[in-house]
Chain A
Amino acid sequence: MKKLTIIHYHVRVSNLLKAIAFFREQLGLQVEKTSLKHFDGAIVSYSPTLQIFLSEKVYLEQTDEVHLYTEDCLEHYCHLKTKNVTFENKPHYLPSGLSVVFTDTDGNRYRLLESRSY
Protein backbone atom coordinates (compact mmCIF):
# COMPACT_ATOMS: atom_id res chain seq x y z
CA MET A 1 0.00 0.00 0.00
CA LYS A 2 1.30 3.45 -0.93
CA LYS A 3 2.33 5.55 2.07
CA LEU A 4 0.27 8.74 2.43
CA THR A 5 2.49 11.83 2.48
CA ILE A 6 1.12 14.95 4.12
CA ILE A 7 2.57 18.26 3.01
CA HIS A 8 2.77 20.96 5.67
CA TYR A 9 3.20 24.64 5.02
CA HIS A 10 4.00 27.07 7.84
CA VAL A 11 2.62 30.55 7.25
CA ARG A 12 3.03 33.57 9.50
CA VAL A 13 0.03 35.84 9.98
CA SER A 14 -0.27 39.13 11.86
CA ASN A 15 -3.70 38.40 13.32
CA LEU A 16 -4.65 34.77 13.85
CA LEU A 17 -8.37 35.43 14.31
CA LYS A 18 -8.55 37.39 11.05
CA ALA A 19 -6.60 34.67 9.28
CA ILE A 20 -8.90 31.97 10.65
CA ALA A 21 -11.92 33.94 9.43
CA PHE A 22 -10.34 34.26 5.98
CA PHE A 23 -9.70 30.53 5.65
CA ARG A 24 -13.05 29.50 7.10
CA GLU A 25 -15.42 32.02 5.59
CA GLN A 26 -13.80 33.04 2.32
CA LEU A 27 -12.03 29.82 1.42
CA GLY A 28 -14.54 27.51 3.11
CA LEU A 29 -11.84 25.34 4.67
CA GLN A 30 -11.72 23.50 7.98
CA VAL A 31 -9.58 25.33 10.55
CA GLU A 32 -8.69 24.06 14.00
CA LYS A 33 -7.07 26.23 16.69
CA THR A 34 -4.19 24.32 18.23
CA SER A 35 -1.88 24.92 21.13
CA LEU A 36 0.90 22.36 21.35
CA LYS A 37 4.32 22.28 22.96
CA HIS A 38 6.05 23.17 19.70
CA PHE A 39 3.30 25.02 17.87
CA ASP A 40 0.76 27.62 18.76
CA GLY A 41 -1.71 28.72 16.12
CA ALA A 42 -4.26 27.11 13.81
CA ILE A 43 -4.16 24.21 11.36
CA VAL A 44 -5.97 24.56 8.04
CA SER A 45 -6.89 21.31 6.30
CA TYR A 46 -6.86 21.97 2.56
CA SER A 47 -6.99 18.30 1.57
CA PRO A 48 -6.21 14.95 3.20
CA THR A 49 -2.61 15.45 2.09
CA LEU A 50 -2.08 19.17 2.61
CA GLN A 51 -2.21 21.25 5.79
CA ILE A 52 -1.32 24.87 6.46
CA PHE A 53 -0.03 25.83 9.91
CA LEU A 54 -0.94 29.44 10.69
CA SER A 55 0.72 31.27 13.52
CA GLU A 56 1.46 34.77 14.77
CA LYS A 57 4.74 33.47 16.17
CA VAL A 58 7.93 33.02 14.18
CA TYR A 59 8.81 29.42 13.35
CA LEU A 60 11.49 27.90 11.25
CA GLU A 61 10.55 27.05 7.65
CA GLN A 62 7.76 29.60 7.45
CA THR A 63 6.91 30.59 3.89
CA ASP A 64 4.89 33.29 2.19
CA GLU A 65 4.11 31.14 -0.87
CA VAL A 66 1.88 28.09 -0.68
CA HIS A 67 1.10 25.71 -3.54
CA LEU A 68 -2.42 24.31 -3.53
CA TYR A 69 -3.40 21.63 -6.01
CA THR A 70 -6.87 21.68 -7.52
CA GLU A 71 -8.81 19.43 -9.87
CA ASP A 72 -10.35 22.37 -11.72
CA CYS A 73 -8.59 25.72 -11.47
CA LEU A 74 -11.32 27.72 -13.25
CA GLU A 75 -14.08 26.38 -11.03
CA HIS A 76 -12.02 27.12 -7.93
CA TYR A 77 -11.13 30.59 -9.23
CA CYS A 78 -14.74 31.57 -10.00
CA HIS A 79 -15.94 30.19 -6.67
CA LEU A 80 -13.35 32.19 -4.71
CA LYS A 81 -14.10 35.33 -6.76
CA THR A 82 -17.68 35.20 -5.53
CA LYS A 83 -16.27 35.07 -1.96
CA ASN A 84 -14.31 38.28 -2.64
CA VAL A 85 -10.90 36.64 -2.46
CA THR A 86 -8.20 38.91 -3.91
CA PHE A 87 -6.38 37.47 -6.91
CA GLU A 88 -3.00 38.69 -8.10
CA ASN A 89 -3.69 37.67 -11.67
CA LYS A 90 -6.09 35.83 -13.92
CA PRO A 91 -5.80 32.08 -14.52
CA HIS A 92 -2.79 31.53 -16.76
CA TYR A 93 -0.93 28.61 -18.27
CA LEU A 94 2.35 27.24 -16.99
CA PRO A 95 4.28 24.29 -18.46
CA SER A 96 2.78 22.16 -15.67
CA GLY A 97 -0.83 23.30 -16.01
CA LEU A 98 -3.30 26.07 -15.26
CA SER A 99 -2.56 28.37 -12.35
CA VAL A 100 -3.79 31.45 -10.51
CA VAL A 101 -2.50 33.23 -7.41
CA PHE A 102 -4.53 34.73 -4.57
CA THR A 103 -3.39 36.45 -1.40
CA ASP A 104 -4.55 36.42 2.23
CA THR A 105 -4.98 39.44 4.50
CA ASP A 106 -1.20 39.51 5.18
CA GLY A 107 -0.16 39.30 1.54
CA ASN A 108 0.93 35.65 1.71
CA ARG A 109 0.59 34.12 -1.75
CA TYR A 110 -1.39 30.97 -2.50
CA ARG A 111 -0.87 29.43 -5.91
CA LEU A 112 -3.75 27.29 -7.10
CA LEU A 113 -2.42 24.80 -9.62
CA GLU A 114 -4.34 22.39 -11.80
CA SER A 115 -1.71 19.95 -12.91
CA ARG A 116 -2.03 18.94 -16.58
CA SER A 117 -0.16 16.33 -18.51
CA TYR A 118 0.33 17.49 -22.10
Chain B
Amino acid sequence: MRYFKEFSNRNRIVSEHTCNAVSNLQDTSCYVIKFVMSGSEKCIVNSRAINIFPDSFTVINAGTDHCSLIDSITPVSTLAIYLNTQFVEDFNRLFFLDHEQQLAHTALKEKPQFVETLYPLVGNLRYNIGHLKRQIDKGVEDEMLLNEYLHHCLFGYYQIYRKEIDEKYQSLEFLKVKTRKEIFRRLLLAKEYLHGNLYKEIKLEDLAKYCCLSTNHLLRTFKKVYGQSPYQYLIHLRLDRAKLLLRTTDYPSSEITRLVGFESPSSFVRLFKTCVGTTPSKYRES
Protein backbone atom coordinates (compact mmCIF):
# COMPACT_ATOMS: atom_id res chain seq x y z
CA MET B 1 0.00 0.00 0.00
CA ARG B 2 1.50 3.31 -1.03
CA TYR B 3 0.45 6.94 -0.67
CA PHE B 4 2.18 9.59 -2.76
CA LYS B 5 1.45 13.28 -2.82
CA GLU B 6 3.42 16.01 -4.57
CA PHE B 7 2.62 19.66 -3.91
CA SER B 8 2.90 22.69 -6.18
CA ASN B 9 6.02 23.80 -4.24
CA ARG B 10 7.60 20.40 -5.10
CA ASN B 11 7.45 19.07 -1.54
CA ARG B 12 6.43 15.42 -1.48
CA ILE B 13 5.03 12.96 1.03
CA VAL B 14 5.40 9.20 0.59
CA SER B 15 3.75 6.80 3.00
CA GLU B 16 4.16 3.03 2.60
CA HIS B 17 2.92 -0.10 4.28
CA THR B 18 5.00 -3.01 3.04
CA CYS B 19 6.97 -6.13 4.01
CA ASN B 20 9.66 -5.87 1.35
CA ALA B 21 11.03 -2.82 -0.37
CA VAL B 22 14.30 -1.62 -1.81
CA SER B 23 14.76 1.90 -3.08
CA ASN B 24 17.84 3.64 -4.32
CA LEU B 25 17.72 7.37 -4.65
CA GLN B 26 19.80 10.45 -5.13
CA ASP B 27 17.69 13.55 -5.22
CA THR B 28 19.53 16.84 -5.59
CA SER B 29 16.36 18.93 -5.31
CA CYS B 30 15.09 17.66 -1.95
CA TYR B 31 16.04 17.07 1.65
CA VAL B 32 14.53 13.84 2.92
CA ILE B 33 13.26 13.11 6.44
CA LYS B 34 12.50 9.43 6.99
CA PHE B 35 10.26 8.07 9.72
CA VAL B 36 9.06 4.58 10.60
CA MET B 37 5.64 4.33 12.22
CA SER B 38 5.85 0.59 12.92
CA GLY B 39 8.59 -2.01 12.35
CA SER B 40 12.02 -0.95 11.17
CA GLU B 41 13.79 0.23 8.03
CA LYS B 42 17.47 0.08 7.17
CA CYS B 43 18.76 3.16 5.44
CA ILE B 44 22.19 3.24 3.81
CA VAL B 45 23.45 6.83 3.79
CA ASN B 46 26.90 7.49 2.38
CA SER B 47 27.71 3.75 2.67
CA ARG B 48 26.68 3.78 6.37
CA ALA B 49 23.76 1.74 7.67
CA ILE B 50 21.23 3.55 9.85
CA ASN B 51 18.39 1.53 11.37
CA ILE B 52 15.24 3.59 11.84
CA PHE B 53 12.66 2.56 14.44
CA PRO B 54 9.44 4.31 15.48
CA ASP B 55 11.30 6.21 18.20
CA SER B 56 13.81 7.74 15.79
CA PHE B 57 14.20 9.28 12.34
CA THR B 58 16.94 10.34 9.97
CA VAL B 59 17.58 13.29 7.70
CA ILE B 60 19.31 13.12 4.34
CA ASN B 61 20.72 16.20 2.65
CA ALA B 62 19.88 17.13 -0.91
CA GLY B 63 22.27 15.32 -3.24
CA THR B 64 23.24 12.55 -0.83
CA ASP B 65 23.16 9.06 -2.29
CA HIS B 66 20.99 6.82 -0.15
CA CYS B 67 19.22 3.52 -0.23
CA SER B 68 16.39 2.07 1.85
CA LEU B 69 15.73 -1.57 2.68
CA ILE B 70 12.70 -3.19 4.28
CA ASP B 71 12.64 -6.91 4.87
CA SER B 72 10.12 -7.99 7.45
CA ILE B 73 7.52 -10.73 8.10
CA THR B 74 5.03 -8.18 9.39
CA PRO B 75 4.25 -5.03 7.36
CA VAL B 76 6.40 -1.99 8.07
CA SER B 77 4.77 1.41 7.98
CA THR B 78 7.02 4.25 6.82
CA LEU B 79 6.65 7.94 6.14
CA ALA B 80 9.13 9.98 4.13
CA ILE B 81 8.87 13.70 3.57
CA TYR B 82 10.78 15.28 0.72
CA LEU B 83 11.35 18.98 1.27
CA ASN B 84 12.28 21.12 -1.69
CA THR B 85 15.61 22.93 -1.19
CA GLN B 86 13.94 26.33 -1.65
CA PHE B 87 11.37 25.47 1.04
CA VAL B 88 14.16 24.54 3.48
CA GLU B 89 16.25 27.61 2.60
CA ASP B 90 13.24 29.91 3.13
CA PHE B 91 12.54 28.22 6.46
CA ASN B 92 16.19 28.55 7.42
CA ARG B 93 16.01 32.32 6.89
CA LEU B 94 12.86 32.52 9.00
CA PHE B 95 14.48 30.49 11.76
CA PHE B 96 17.84 32.23 11.95
CA LEU B 97 17.24 35.82 10.83
CA ASP B 98 15.32 38.42 12.79
CA HIS B 99 12.44 40.38 11.27
CA GLU B 100 14.60 43.31 10.12
CA GLN B 101 17.14 41.05 8.44
CA GLN B 102 14.34 39.22 6.67
CA LEU B 103 12.87 42.50 5.40
CA ALA B 104 16.33 43.58 4.22
CA HIS B 105 16.55 40.26 2.28
CA THR B 106 19.74 39.35 4.12
CA ALA B 107 21.03 36.11 2.67
CA LEU B 108 22.52 33.33 4.77
CA LYS B 109 26.02 32.48 3.63
CA GLU B 110 25.60 28.76 3.36
CA LYS B 111 22.90 26.38 2.23
CA PRO B 112 21.56 24.24 5.08
CA GLN B 113 23.62 21.08 5.56
CA PHE B 114 22.37 18.78 8.28
CA VAL B 115 24.24 16.05 10.09
CA GLU B 116 23.00 12.80 8.56
CA THR B 117 22.49 10.67 11.61
CA LEU B 118 19.80 9.14 13.77
CA TYR B 119 17.69 11.59 15.77
CA PRO B 120 15.21 10.82 18.56
CA LEU B 121 11.60 11.41 17.57
CA VAL B 122 10.57 13.61 20.46
CA GLY B 123 8.94 16.95 21.28
CA ASN B 124 6.91 18.90 18.75
CA LEU B 125 8.09 16.83 15.80
CA ARG B 126 6.57 13.68 17.34
CA TYR B 127 3.18 15.40 17.63
CA ASN B 128 3.36 17.03 14.19
CA ILE B 129 4.32 13.80 12.45
CA GLY B 130 1.54 11.95 14.29
CA HIS B 131 -1.01 14.50 13.09
CA LEU B 132 0.35 14.47 9.53
CA LYS B 133 0.16 10.67 9.37
CA ARG B 134 -3.41 10.72 10.67
CA GLN B 135 -4.43 13.23 7.97
CA ILE B 136 -2.78 11.07 5.28
CA ASP B 137 -4.57 7.97 6.57
CA LYS B 138 -7.85 9.92 6.41
CA GLY B 139 -7.08 10.71 2.75
CA VAL B 140 -6.90 14.49 3.25
CA GLU B 141 -5.70 16.26 0.10
CA ASP B 142 -5.73 19.86 1.37
CA GLU B 143 -2.36 21.25 0.22
CA MET B 144 -2.44 24.23 2.55
CA LEU B 145 -2.98 22.02 5.59
CA LEU B 146 -0.39 19.42 4.59
CA ASN B 147 2.22 22.10 3.84
CA GLU B 148 1.48 23.70 7.23
CA TYR B 149 2.30 20.34 8.84
CA LEU B 150 5.52 20.13 6.82
CA HIS B 151 6.52 23.61 7.93
CA HIS B 152 5.94 22.65 11.57
CA CYS B 153 7.70 19.31 11.11
CA LEU B 154 10.76 21.23 9.93
CA PHE B 155 10.45 23.52 12.93
CA GLY B 156 10.29 20.47 15.22
CA TYR B 157 13.37 19.05 13.51
CA TYR B 158 15.31 22.30 14.01
CA GLN B 159 14.45 22.16 17.73
CA ILE B 160 15.79 18.60 17.92
CA TYR B 161 18.86 19.53 15.84
CA ARG B 162 19.72 22.34 18.24
CA LYS B 163 19.56 19.97 21.20
CA GLU B 164 21.08 16.86 19.64
CA ILE B 165 23.78 18.43 17.49
CA ASP B 166 24.53 22.05 18.37
CA GLU B 167 24.37 21.73 22.17
CA LYS B 168 26.10 18.35 22.30
CA TYR B 169 28.84 19.52 19.95
CA GLN B 170 29.42 22.55 22.14
CA SER B 171 29.82 20.31 25.19
CA LEU B 172 33.01 18.83 23.72
CA GLU B 173 36.05 20.75 24.85
CA PHE B 174 38.79 20.57 22.24
CA LEU B 175 40.93 23.48 21.21
CA LYS B 176 41.07 22.50 17.56
CA VAL B 177 37.75 22.73 15.69
CA LYS B 178 38.84 19.92 13.38
CA THR B 179 39.46 17.57 16.32
CA ARG B 180 36.17 18.50 17.94
CA LYS B 181 34.28 17.83 14.70
CA GLU B 182 35.99 14.49 14.19
CA ILE B 183 35.41 13.27 17.75
CA PHE B 184 31.77 14.34 17.55
CA ARG B 185 31.37 12.49 14.26
CA ARG B 186 32.77 9.32 15.84
CA LEU B 187 30.48 9.66 18.84
CA LEU B 188 27.52 9.90 16.48
CA LEU B 189 28.73 6.64 14.94
CA ALA B 190 28.83 5.07 18.40
CA LYS B 191 25.29 6.28 19.10
CA GLU B 192 24.03 4.89 15.76
CA TYR B 193 25.70 1.57 16.55
CA LEU B 194 23.96 1.35 19.92
CA HIS B 195 20.59 2.14 18.33
CA GLY B 196 21.05 -0.34 15.52
CA ASN B 197 22.36 -3.23 17.61
CA LEU B 198 20.56 -2.93 20.92
CA TYR B 199 18.94 -6.34 20.43
CA LYS B 200 22.29 -8.08 20.80
CA GLU B 201 25.11 -8.11 23.27
CA ILE B 202 27.35 -5.12 22.73
CA LYS B 203 30.89 -5.09 24.04
CA LEU B 204 32.59 -1.80 24.77
CA GLU B 205 35.60 -2.93 22.75
CA ASP B 206 33.44 -3.61 19.69
CA LEU B 207 31.78 -0.23 20.03
CA ALA B 208 35.13 1.52 20.38
CA LYS B 209 36.46 -0.33 17.35
CA TYR B 210 33.39 0.62 15.29
CA CYS B 211 33.78 4.32 15.98
CA CYS B 212 37.59 4.30 15.84
CA LEU B 213 38.18 5.54 19.38
CA SER B 214 40.09 3.94 22.25
CA THR B 215 37.80 2.58 24.98
CA ASN B 216 39.00 5.20 27.45
CA HIS B 217 38.57 8.03 25.00
CA LEU B 218 35.11 6.72 24.05
CA LEU B 219 34.01 6.42 27.68
CA ARG B 220 35.22 9.90 28.56
CA THR B 221 33.87 11.78 25.55
CA PHE B 222 30.60 9.83 25.35
CA LYS B 223 29.81 10.69 28.96
CA LYS B 224 30.72 14.32 28.34
CA VAL B 225 28.30 14.59 25.41
CA TYR B 226 25.44 12.28 26.41
CA GLY B 227 25.70 12.65 30.18
CA GLN B 228 25.97 8.89 30.71
CA SER B 229 28.24 5.99 29.82
CA PRO B 230 27.56 3.99 26.62
CA TYR B 231 26.25 1.13 28.81
CA GLN B 232 23.84 3.38 30.71
CA TYR B 233 22.76 4.93 27.40
CA LEU B 234 22.13 1.44 26.01
CA ILE B 235 20.05 0.38 29.04
CA HIS B 236 17.88 3.51 28.76
CA LEU B 237 17.54 2.91 25.04
CA ARG B 238 16.45 -0.70 25.62
CA LEU B 239 13.93 0.33 28.25
CA ASP B 240 12.52 3.10 26.04
CA ARG B 241 12.20 0.66 23.14
CA ALA B 242 10.53 -1.87 25.47
CA LYS B 243 8.05 0.80 26.60
CA LEU B 244 7.28 1.62 22.98
CA LEU B 245 6.71 -2.06 22.15
CA LEU B 246 4.52 -2.51 25.22
CA ARG B 247 2.41 0.49 24.20
CA THR B 248 2.10 -0.24 20.50
CA THR B 249 2.20 -4.04 20.11
CA ASP B 250 0.72 -7.11 21.74
CA TYR B 251 4.03 -9.01 21.73
CA PRO B 252 4.51 -11.17 24.84
CA SER B 253 7.00 -10.00 27.43
CA SER B 254 9.45 -12.77 26.46
CA GLU B 255 9.47 -11.59 22.84
CA ILE B 256 10.02 -7.97 23.90
CA THR B 257 12.89 -9.14 26.14
CA ARG B 258 14.52 -10.73 23.10
CA LEU B 259 13.82 -7.78 20.77
CA VAL B 260 15.43 -5.23 23.07
CA GLY B 261 18.42 -7.39 23.92
CA PHE B 262 17.94 -8.30 27.58
CA GLU B 263 19.43 -11.60 28.65
CA SER B 264 16.37 -13.05 30.38
CA PRO B 265 12.75 -12.05 31.05
CA SER B 266 13.44 -11.92 34.78
CA SER B 267 16.32 -9.45 34.45
CA PHE B 268 14.18 -7.37 32.06
CA VAL B 269 11.25 -7.26 34.53
CA ARG B 270 13.58 -6.45 37.45
CA LEU B 271 15.31 -3.60 35.61
CA PHE B 272 12.05 -2.30 34.17
CA LYS B 273 10.50 -2.18 37.65
CA THR B 274 13.56 -0.42 39.10
CA CYS B 275 13.71 2.24 36.40
CA VAL B 276 10.05 2.75 35.44
CA GLY B 277 8.50 2.01 38.85
CA THR B 278 6.08 -0.62 37.60
CA THR B 279 6.18 -4.02 35.94
CA PRO B 280 5.97 -4.33 32.12
CA SER B 281 2.51 -5.93 32.31
CA LYS B 282 1.14 -3.17 34.55
CA TYR B 283 2.76 -0.55 32.29
CA ARG B 284 0.98 -2.10 29.29
CA GLU B 285 -2.37 -2.14 31.10
CA SER B 286 -2.05 1.49 32.13
Listed in ascending order, the chain A residues whose CB lies under 8 Å from chain B are 72, 74-75, 77-79, 81-82, 91, 93, 98, 114, 116, 118
Cβ contact within 8 Å between B124 and A75: no
Residue from A75, A81, A98, A118 whose CB has the most chain B CB atoms within 10 Å: A75
Cβ contact within 8 Å between A118 and B148: no
Assuming the contacts A91-B152, A116-B124, asked whether A78 and B142 have C-beta atoms less than 8 A apart, the reply is yes
Chain B hits for A79, CB < 8 A: 145
Smallest Cβ-Cβ distance to A117: which chain B residue = B127
Report whether over half of chain B's contact residues are helix, strand or loop; otherwise say mixed: helix
Cβ contact within 8 Å between B148 and A78: yes
Give the number of A-B contacts (CB < 8 Å).
31
Chain A hits for B123, CB < 8 A: 118
Chain A hits for B142, CB < 8 A: 78
Residue of B127, B135, B148 near A116 (CB, 8 A) is B127
A77 to B148, CA, bound (A): 10
A21 to B262, CA, bound (A): 61
Chain B hits for A74, CB < 8 A: 128, 131, 145, 148-149, 152
Smallest Cβ-Cβ distance to B140: which chain A residue = A75
Residue of A75, A98, A118 near B145 (CB, 8 A) is A75
B144 within 8 A of A: yes
Cβ contact within 8 Å between A72 and B124: no
- Tell me, rounded to whole Å, the shortest Cβ–Cβ distance linking A7 to chain B: 23
A77 to B131, CA, bound (A): 13
Chain A hits for B148, CB < 8 A: 74, 77-78, 91
